[in-house]
Amino acid sequence: MLQTRKFFYSFFFTICVTATAYCQQLQSNTFSLIVVNEKALPADGATVKLVQDGKPVKSIAANPAGIAKFGNISAGDYTFSVSYTGYQVQSSRLYHFPSKTVSDTLRLQPVTTNLSQVEITSKAKAIEVQKGKVIVNVDASVTNAGTTVLEVLEKSPGITVDRNGGIALQGKTGVLVTIDDKPTYLSGADLNNLLSSMSSNQVAQIELISNPTAKYDASGNAGIINIKTKKNKLKGFNGSVSTAFGQGVYSKNNNSLVLNYRIGKINTFLNYSNATTII
């Protein structure tokens, strides 16, 4: 009877020790890494990798509480690598498993970027409507490349050009055409020839003023078309040459020469254009 009791106590003690050792072993091979940001808030969705000898073994995404839980970790030395959008990729200290440590916290550091230069680029609209006028930005439309000023006007809102080259704005004839706010004092065929010989490459904007204010000459009551040419601000002598060829019912080419000389506040320039239709 005594031997039976000793055997029972010995067997029970062995079962308890084995169970305790198993539970400790299971617990020690389970590890939770808590990932937080610089404000100690959970890094929900952070990618946590279990790394051994520089090679990732397992990868887990942190839950909304910032916890990434790994189970059944084989014996050995490991680190954890954490990546999160807007934060530096960070590695934890070295952990040896099995271990009594079952959790730890890793705080992320935000990525800091110093901008050496900021460049803001904006593109003008092809057509702008302002108070009392419509502005056509010639370079904003690719269809204006290689055309003449008259061809740009034909495509402009509110402009009609008749067979004889007469220009009307909002249905009104007798429109005053100015270049850089200076009247051309041309009409009919002479004005048509001038606009047909000017390359659109020389023009920055065309202002269509249907209701001129009192500051404009009375001859512009029917409307004003102000052609604003490009200004070259480079100092010294410079220039540009351009040529374009088009094929429709007839062949045509458009050539232009721009020469500019600027010194101090004095600027002298010469624009020459030639448009030819080959029949």
CA distances from 196 to 151, 189, 255 (A): 8, 10, 11
CATH number for the domain running over 30-107: 2.60.40.1120
Domain boundaries, the chain: 30-107, 127-278
Same fold? 30-107, 127-278: no
CATH class of 127-278: mainly beta
Strand-pair partners of 52: 55
What's the predicted TM-score (pTM) here?
Answer: 0.46
Q: Note the pLDDT tens digit of each residue in 89-120.
A: 999 999 999 888 899 999 999 987 666 676 76
Q: Note the pLDDT tens digit of each residue in 200-223.
A: 888 899 999 888 776 666 555 678
The DSSP-derived string for 149-217 is HHHHHHTSTTEEE-TT--EEETTB---EEEETTEE----HHHHHHHHHHSBGGGEEEEEEESS--TTS-
- Give me the pLDDT at residue 160, please: 85
Strand-pair partners of 256: 242, 273
